[in-house]
Chain A
Amino acid sequence: MSTHGPSVVEGLPYDATAISELAETWQPRKGVWGALTSVDHKVIGRRYIVTAFVFFLLAGSLAALMRLQLVRPENNFIAPDTYNQLFSVHGATMMFLFAVPMVLGFGVYFIPLMIGTRNVAFPRLNACGYWIYVFGGSVFWIAFFFGSGLDTGWFSYVPLANLDFSPDKRVDIYMQTVTFTEISAIITAIEIIVTVFTQRAPGMSLNRIPLFVWAQLVTAFMVMFAMSTIATLSTTMMAMDRLVNTRFFDPDHGGDSLLWQHLFWFFGHPEVYIIFLPATGMVSSILPAVTRRPVFGYTAIVLSLVATAFISFGLWVHHMFTTGVPQVGASFFTAASLMIAIPSAIQVFCWLATIASGRPRFTTDMLFVIGFIILFVAGGLTGVMVSSVPFDTQVHDTYFVVAHFHYVLVGGAVFPIFAGFYHWFPKLTGRMLSDRLGKVQFLVFFIGMNLTFFPMHWLGFEGMPRRVYTYTAGLGWEDLNLLATIGAILMLIGIGLFVWNVGAALTRPKDAPPDPWQADTLEWWTTSPPPPWNFTYLPVVQGRSPVWEMTPESPRVIGMRTDIREVLTTTIIRAEPHTRHQSPGNAISPFLTAASVTFLLVMLIFTPKAVLIGAPFVFGSLMMWGWPTGKPEKEHREEGI
């Protein structure tokens, strides 16, 4: 370990003036201008989390409206056109505007803190990604409020989504919204990959990366592959079909309707794991704090993450078993779908082993982790069931599947996200959430979740298809639907309690200690919330639980410049110091670029000429972004290391 001693970077410990200079250098600007120009990953990560939560509330209220309509058969509360918009906008928002940005937002906020650096690799690009996301999401919801909400479901099968059957602009707006979120997600993925590979604290070799960061890294690679498929292939082809009559998906003119299903699910299935893997990373990073031991089976968990990512690209056809896939082909995808249960099982067993051999502490974050295991395992087991072709032909597109994927997504992602909220709230805001209120929320939400979705398994067996705005009386579906609606109300109350908890916490003073949970990852080694420069001295890592291994004598990085924004880059495998690199400061160009991209994409909903009209604006803002400042980039290569 002596190679990573205090002299990692030559220089002397900072004095008081150096520290105030550091603050001066990293200080954000004030006011609206400051908000628009900020490139601090914590500001942007927090914005992702808050924005995604707002979309969660919006999409959740749509779900509540749907449950009210389904409370009794042949109900007239909501008209079919509205109902079809409700479920489509609910699904699309939860997938594209809530789940992915939420988990990636946690990544943007916590990855630099967990790996001990001052900012992400491309801070301005990071800011641009957020603006694109929030603009795209707003377009989608403004359209919905003006009666142009998507009404063909989040996977918008053709020919129903073709111009012949959906002549209005609803599908176009949706396709463009997906494009926005894809751009934003790809940007974040680039950000995560480069940051993790180049900016880890000295000593954080690959085998010491926190599991949350590993999960984010694997997810980022999945985003690169999956999102580029859907961005460059499917949604663009669909948009072109609708805008310039390319007819890729129009069977009447030589196109193919199943092609869309293949392309969509080739992206759409990994999408589920893009949501789920970071959530498991959260669980793996919360567990050490709440069980007071390192997670059992670090290597096994990392390999499981990687295996999941690979296999998840090989099972998209299990969404298409009822289209008449030949049996041999289908059984290949059955095998792949069963196989993906193995890495998931390994992760679950490792968590169980961690809990069994640790000393559990029953704070709210732990309760949500326990809830996650209970619900996710249930969803995983029904997932094993639906991978069987004969079984799937019965339950496909029924409420059984609705139950299955809500167990996986609410249990497997929303519960870890809530665990994350309770766990990291002090780090995010400097304030603690009420643990007692949190436990009440957990109980209400957990019961509500099961009451809503468990009966749906049986509704599926009883023959209730999904996406019906109403149903016929007398088929034995009434009681279970009533139960589900009662559960949905409980879930709503649970969310209300959480909002109350957050609101109450925000009125209290910022008195959270740096490390309230005695956790082991580096974000707890700095103040709550961290200063704009994250760490005054960058840490030097000596193991997998750096904060637990840290002593007052532990080495730390000194000698980083304080008069410019400087980050330390390290080597990819062993994280040995490599270069001191100047990190870009605040700028307005990311916002302007996002605005001009938005202008182009929104116009593109209506006319192909938008490319010509919008391109100069995008080009101009990019020119402004890259315009030479006249000052040389400061980069200092460490000699002799």
Chain B
Amino acid sequence: MTGGRLAKVGGLAVAALVGCEGSQAALNPAGPQAGRIAGLSWFMIVSLSVIYIIILAVLFAGLIGRRHGASDESEARLVRWVIIGVAITTGYLVVLMVLDVSVGRGLSSLSEDEDPLIVDVIGHQWWWEIVYPAREPNRTVTTANELHIPVGRTVRIRTSSVDVIHSLWIPRLHGKRDLVPDHPSVFHLRADEPGIFRGECAEFCGLQHAHMSLLVIAQPEAEFRAWQAAQMRPAEEPADIIRRLGMQTFLNGTCPMCHAVAGTSAAARAGPDLTHFGSRRTIGAATLDNSRGNLGGWILDPHHIKPGVNMPANPIPADRLDALISYLEGLK
């Protein structure tokens, strides 16, 4: 119960963080891809609503209309009406097909961009590994559940998965793309306005499919570069004694069996990379707001918040837990 309440409060905080309602709405586009699709959607919603109303009108007129009795002449008139109806239907479908193809071509036009930002998004049960590859290994950035992109620049997203099929869906930027383990694929998107957009896994991927979200942070190019530069640096050696105790707790406990912190001996990749954990906004794939209290609860018993998650419970004594939280929060 408490876990649920915690998740609820955390969820509310996350929603507040990303600007509340509509941060995951497909008809509230923030980029050219979602914009094109939203335009097509509105065209279909309006035109099909009109068609629907006409069909209902014909139905009800038929139900209450005056009767002339059956005759050959009236049957012939019915034949004419049915043929007209079918012709209109067919014409409409042809228009739709043309629109569909042209919107599809519009969507793929971003792929011709010469210099896109390349990002690898790798699905895990139940979190997102996000890698900004670079030729030099020390310039590669690895993070989790938070996708930073520069506003106005094309992003080429290469998808893959280490376990089951997931689906990356950021409704305000683009339609979804499945993360199929044996079929990596590529798609492009662009954000035209700065903001925080929420995304969520859209293909059922097991027990905690419901808690597999991510934040997309679109920021001006300069801000993005600064973030990227900061993310390239290894974690700093903690200066104060509390955080040093936290680091010991981290490295001597079970944490390094799954997590990595660059600059320390922890280098496992089964769980999210924590090198710059303190700079991230959420915990547990956007399940909780990243705050001291939430983090403590998460470390002690993640199963209360996200039942079945692969992270085990960690019964850490209170003073050490406090130090560990300070250490993690300090990994900016």
Q: Which A residues are closer than 8 A to B by beta carbons?
A: 73-76, 79-81, 84, 152-153, 157, 159-160, 165, 251, 256-258, 293, 296-297, 300, 322-324, 327, 330-331, 334-335, 338-339, 341-342, 345-346, 348-350, 352-353, 355-357, 359-360, 370, 373-374, 377-378, 381-382, 384-385, 388-398, 460-476
Contact check, B171 vs A463: say whether CB atoms are below 8 A apart. yes
A338 vs B63: C-alpha distance in the bound complex, in angstroms? Answer: 29
State the Cβ distance, B125 to closest chain A Cβ, in Å: 8
Check B210–A165 contact: CB distance below 8 A: no
Residues from 101 to 158 in B contacting A, C-beta threshold 8 Å: 101, 103-105, 107-108, 125
Contact of B48 among A381, A395, A473 (CB under 8 A): A381
A256 CB contacts on chain B under 8 angstroms = 182
B216 beta carbon closer than 8 Å to chain A: no
Q: Is the C-beta of B55 less than 8 angstroms from some C-beta in chain A?
A: yes
Asked whether, in the complex, the Cβ of B181 is within 8 Å of the Cβ of A390, the reply is no
B-chain residues with CB within 8 Å of residue A341 when the two chains form the complex: 89, 93
- Do A356 and B65 form a contact, CB below 8 Å, given A394-B26, A395-B26? yes
> Taking the nearest CB of chain B, how far is it from the CB of A348, in angstroms?
7
Task: Show 14 A/B contacts (Cβ-Cβ < 8 Å), sorted by A.
Answer: A73-B11, A165-B125, A257-B180, A322-B202, A327-B108, A330-B104, A384-B48, A389-B100, A465-B209, A468-B209, A469-B209, A472-B11, A475-B15, A475-B23
Q: How far is the CB of B91 from chain A (nearest CB, A)?
A: 11
Closest CB of chain B to A312's CB: distance in Å? 16
* Contacts A74-B5, A153-B204, A256-B182 supplied; 19 other A-B pairs, CB < 8 Å: A79-B307, A81-B207, A81-B307, A157-B164, A157-B204, A160-B206, A251-B182, A258-B182, A322-B175, A322-B202, A327-B104, A338-B93, A338-B96, A353-B62, A353-B78, A390-B37, A394-B34, A397-B202, A463-B25
Which residues in A have their C-beta under 8 angstroms from that of B167? 322, 397
Q: Whole-angstrom distance between the alpha carbons of A324 and B159 in the complex?
A: 10
| Given A352-B58, A475-B23, also A300-B82 (CB < 8 A) | yes
A391 and B63: CB pair below 8 A?
no
B8 touches which of A73, A396, A475 (Cβ 8 Å): A73
Q: Once the chains bind, are B26 and A461 in contact (CB under 8 Å)? A: yes
B227 at the interface (CB under 8 A from A): no
Cβ-defined partner of A157 (8 Å) among B16, B89, B175, B203 = B203
Provided the pairs A394-B37, A396-B176, A463-B198 are in contact, do residues A165 and B163 lie with their beta carbons within 8 angstroms?
A: yes
- Is B21 located at the chain interface by the 8 A CB criterion? yes
- Measured between alpha carbons, how far is A353 from B164 in the docked complex, in Å? 50
Minimum Cβ distance to chain B for residue A391 (Å)? 6
A-B contact count (CB 8 A): 260
Q: Residue B263 at the A interface, CB < 8 A?
A: no
- A171 CB, min distance to chain B CBs, angstroms: 12
Asked if residues A74 and B52 are in contact (CB atoms below 8 Å), the reply is no
Contacts A74-B4, A474-B15, A474-B21 given; indicate if A357 touches B55 (C-beta within 8 A).
no
The closest CB in chain B to the CB of A397 belongs to B202
Cβ contact of B205, chosen from A160, A322, A331, A475, cutoff 8 A:
A160
What is the CB-to-nearest-CB distance from A98 to chain B, in angstroms, rounded to a whole number? 22
Residue pair A159, B181 in contact (C-beta under 8 Å):
yes
Please measure, in the bound complex, the distance between the C-alpha atom of A357 and the C-alpha atom of B79, giving whole angstroms: 12
| Chain A minimum-CB-distance residue to B175 | A393
B182–A473 contact, CB under 8 A? no
B174 at the interface (CB under 8 A from A): yes
Contact yes or no, B96 A384, CB < 8 A: yes
Give complex CA distance A165, B164 in Å.
8
- B37 x A356 contact (CB < 8 A): no
The answer to whether A374 touches B59, judged by C-beta atoms less than 8 angstroms apart, is: yes
CA distance A390 to B281 in the complex (A): 31
Determine if B316 is an interface residue (Cβ-Cβ < 8 Å).
no
Tell me if B70 is interfacial: C-beta within 8 Å of chain A.
Answer: yes
Q: Given B52, B59, B101, B185, which contacts A378 in the complex, CB threshold below 8 Å?
A: B52
| Of the residues B22, B41, B200, B211, contact of A391 by C-beta under 8 Å | B41
Closest A-B pairs by Cβ, 6 of them: A393-B175, A474-B15, A463-B24, A356-B62, A251-B182, A476-B21
A473/B11 contact (C-beta < 8 A), A390-B100, A463-B200 known: yes
B203 touches A472 (CB 8 A): no
Contact B48 A390 (CB under 8 A): no
Most buried by A among B16, B51, B56, B211: B211
| The residue from A258, A390, A471, A474 contacting B103, defined by CB atoms under 8 A apart | A390
